[in-house]
Structures are given as structure tokens and as C-alpha cells.
Amino acid sequence: MQRFVLLILLSIFSYTGFAQKSTADSLLINSLVKNIAAMQVTADGEFYKGMFPSFRECGGAPHNYQPDNNIFFTAISAFAFRNMLPYLSGYDKITAEDIIKKATAVYPYYKNQYGDPFYNFWPTDAPIMPHTYYFKYLKSVFGQGEDADDSVMILMTGDNDDSANTILKQRLVEVANKSNNRNIISTYKRYNDLPAYSTYLGKRMTPDFDFAVHCNILYFMYDKGLAFNKQDSATLQTVSQMIKEKQYMKAPVYLSPYYVKSSILIYHVARLMGAFNIPELNIYRQQLANDINTLLAKSFNVMDQIILRTSLLRLGFAAPALELHSIDAFETSNQQQYIFFQARAAFSYPTPFKQVFLHWSYICYYFYCPAYNKILWLEYLVEKRKH
């Protein structure tokens, strides 16, 4: 009888502790949603109304830290909220829906000048690299090609239709490696003959592979239920082979000149695997989890600690507790130095030039978005509450 009573008491204490933690997380989620909503721009100016402000600096001196009105961070913020909507309720869900609505209203400024469902990183009718000393005047020289990353994120969050999805897929096919005599020169030789998708949508640009961009393109194909073709299969083969060879740990900068870090590459593939059942990738769940735990043991930035935990949860594993309990603590942490996205001009160079110039800071640009860092933390809290 005493043993039975003891078990009952232990169960009550365990449930009480769980309930308290769950309540604390719910309150934090509510506060974060409000805080993020307040960061959304309310009037046109440096940024369009509905955007989340982001900033850019040169990796080399002078760093020239400046506002940057790219659509990228606003689009991936809307995408994150779209994915969290089923797990939010009440005021939080209403606010999230409003955030998405305001963000998607900005998309037309970045759309292809001929009205096709392809999107630029910067506004279509504005200078590239705003506030730079020279590059902002060189749009006619460098041009501005629409890219796959922004386009798929926008079509997964905007008010589009099947026709737009089909048109984008057709363009992706047209500019893929091996299509229309296009040949990649910037990846490992063993991937040269794979007709995988390219990062950029311009027909005159050399094909380029980026591991994280490939994950996002595949997410789009699965999300929209588009029939797989040889380009989809080749892209999936490229990603799975890179995972098999653990290249995301060995050479993340070479694999992904725009996302660069092993933790961020794992975040992208775990997000894809958490959303869809993909047998070709499922076999690497344990490998990825092991590598996440390796990175957790040596990662010092709180953002790495957050996205690695989120990735563990999405892969179906338990994640260690994160000792971060207030927005004030988050804002004063080292998250301010975190670089989720960057541009490295040597992305399309052939080997060995690519390996050398990818690390030359004077042609690297780092992008920051304070709101998106909070959204990544919010994702973790929502994911944690699901498990």
C-alpha cells in the first residue's frame, strides 16, 4: 500500500513539473509572438511595410554595416510562421496569420519584371547591394538574377496557384545542370554529371549547387505535390550522397556558400525530413543525430544551440534542455553575432579557385535579421511543445 501511494505521489509531482514547464513555454511563446510582430515594419521607408528589417556588412574592412532591404528574411520568416500555424492557437495564431499576411503583401516588389513567378533578392526596380560604396551603381554590370531560394519560399507562403508552381518548376528544369548545354564547374567532379537544380534562375548563369538551397527546392516539390522528374531525383541524389559522405561536416562552406555552417545545413535537411517521409534520407537520421550531438558539445553561439535542438526534435530524437527563459536574456546573448545567411562571390568558381576565394573576406557579405533569430527560437519552443 505504501509503495502504491509513493508511486501516486511521484506521478503527481512529475505531472506538476511537466505542467509548470509547459505553462512557462506557452507564456514565452506568447511573449515572443507579440515581440516579433512588433518588429515588423509599419510604414514604407528604408524597408517596405510588412518586412522584417535586415542588415548587411562586408566581411573585410571597412565593414560598412548597413540596412539591406532584401526579401529573403521576410520570406523565410513567413515560411516559418506558416509551418507553425497548426501548433499555435488563440491570439498567437491570429497574430501569426497577420504577420504572414503583411509579409506576403511585399512580394510584388521583388517579382520578375515580366510578371513570371520568379523573385529577386532585392527589389526588381531598385539598386543591388543598397548602401555599398560601389556595387549599388553596378546593377547593369552584374545584373540581378532571380534565385530559387527566394522563389520557392515566396510561392510556399504567398497567394499563388498551381500554374505559378508549374511555371517555376519549368524554369528550374531549364536552368538545371546539364540542361540546354549548361555544365556546372563549381562542385566536386563526382557530382558534375548529375542534372540537379541550380541556385539561380537566370538562363545565362552557370549552374551552381548549394546543399541548403537544394533542400529548400525539394521542400517546395514535396509541399506542392509536384511530380518528380529526373532533375528532382538528381537533386535528391546529390543531397543524399553529400550526407552519406558527411560533406556537410567536412566541407560546409564548399557545399553551401550561402549558409556555410554545418549546423545550418543540418537544420535545412532536418526541416525537410521532419516534414516529409523520404526513404533516401531517412536512413541517415541516426548519423545526423550523432553529428548534432557532436556540434552541440562544441558550439558556443546560442543560435547554434537552438537550431541544433530543433533539428534533433524534427528528426525524432530527444533534445537536451535549453536554459534560456526570457526575451531579455536572449537579446543580450551572443545571438547578435549570428550569421544565418551570407553571400560569397566565389560560389561559381571552379576548383581550386573556389576553395581559396570562398574564404577571402573582402568578397563575403554577412546578413543579419534580429527578428528571424527570435523566430528560430520560437520554432524550437513550438517544436518542443509538440513532443
Amino acid 13: pLDDT: 44
Q: Which pLDDT band holds residue 269 (cuts at 50, 70, 90)?
A: very high
- For the chain, the domain total comes to 1
In sequence order, which residues have a C-beta less than 8 Å from that of residue 265 and are 6 or more positions away? Answer: 211, 212, 248, 252, 255, 256, 259
Q: What is the DSSP string of 115-130?
A: S-S-B-SS-TTS-SST
Does residue 295 lie within any of the structural domains?
no
**Residue-wise pLDDT tens digits, 78-100:** 999 999 999 999 999 999 999 99
Reduced to 3 states, what is the DSSP secondary structure of residue 58? strand
- Residue 245 near residue 238, CB atoms below 8 Å: no
Reduced to 3 states, what is the DSSP secondary structure of residue 22? helix
Residue 190 has pLDDT above 60, yes or no: yes
Per the prediction, the chain carries an average pLDDT of 90
**Residue-wise pLDDT tens digits, 328-383:** 999 999 999 999 999 887 566 666 666 666 766 767 899 999 999 999 999 999 99
Q: pTM score, two decimals? A: 0.91
Amino acid 138: pLDDT: 46
**Residue-wise pLDDT tens digits, 135-158:** 544 444 344 479 999 999 999 998
Range of the domain at 111: 107-249
CA 222 – CA 228 distance, rounded (Å) = 9
Does residue 279 lie within any of the structural domains?
no
Q: Which pLDDT band holds residue 127 (cuts at 50, 70, 90)?
A: confident
Would you state the cell numbers that stand for residue 352, as one nine-digit string?
581550386
Amino acid 126: pLDDT: 80
Would you state the cell numbers that stand for residue 156, as one nine-digit string?
510556399
Instruction: Express as a percent the part of the chain with pLDDT over 70.
Output: 87
Amino acid 140: pLDDT: 42
Does residue 202 lie within any of the structural domains?
yes
Amino acid 139: pLDDT: 45
Amino acid 358: pLDDT: 74
Q: Which pLDDT band holds residue 10 (cuts at 50, 70, 90)?
A: very low
**Residue-wise pLDDT tens digits, 276-305:** 999 999 999 999 999 999 999 999 999 999
Amino acid 17: pLDDT: 47
Does residue 156 lie within any of the structural domains?
yes
Does residue 133 lie within any of the structural domains?
yes
Question: Phi and psi of 219, rounded to 5°?
Answer: -60, -45
Does residue 15 lie within any of the structural domains?
no
Which CA distances in Å does 289 have to 24, 70, 283, 352, 361?
Answer: 27, 33, 12, 32, 32
Does residue 357 lie within any of the structural domains?
no
More confident residue, 361 or 238: 238
Amino acid 347: pLDDT: 63
Poorest-pLDDT segment among 62-66, 88-92, 136-140, 267-271: 136-140
Residue 232 has pLDDT above 60, yes or no: yes
User: Residues 35-52: what's their mean pLDDT?
Assistant: 98
- Residue 112 near residue 124, CB atoms below 8 Å: yes
User: Residues 119-127: what's their mean pLDDT?
Assistant: 90
- Residue 287 near residue 357, CB atoms below 8 Å: no
User: Residues 65-69: what's their mean pLDDT?
Assistant: 95
Radius of gyration of the chain (CA): 21
Does residue 277 lie within any of the structural domains?
no
Would you state the cell numbers that stand for residue 382, as one nine-digit string?
513550438
Would you state the cell numbers that stand for residue 55, as one nine-digit string?
542588415
In sequence order, which residues have a C-beta less than 8 Å from that of residue 262 and are 6 or more positions away? Answer: 248, 249, 252, 291, 295
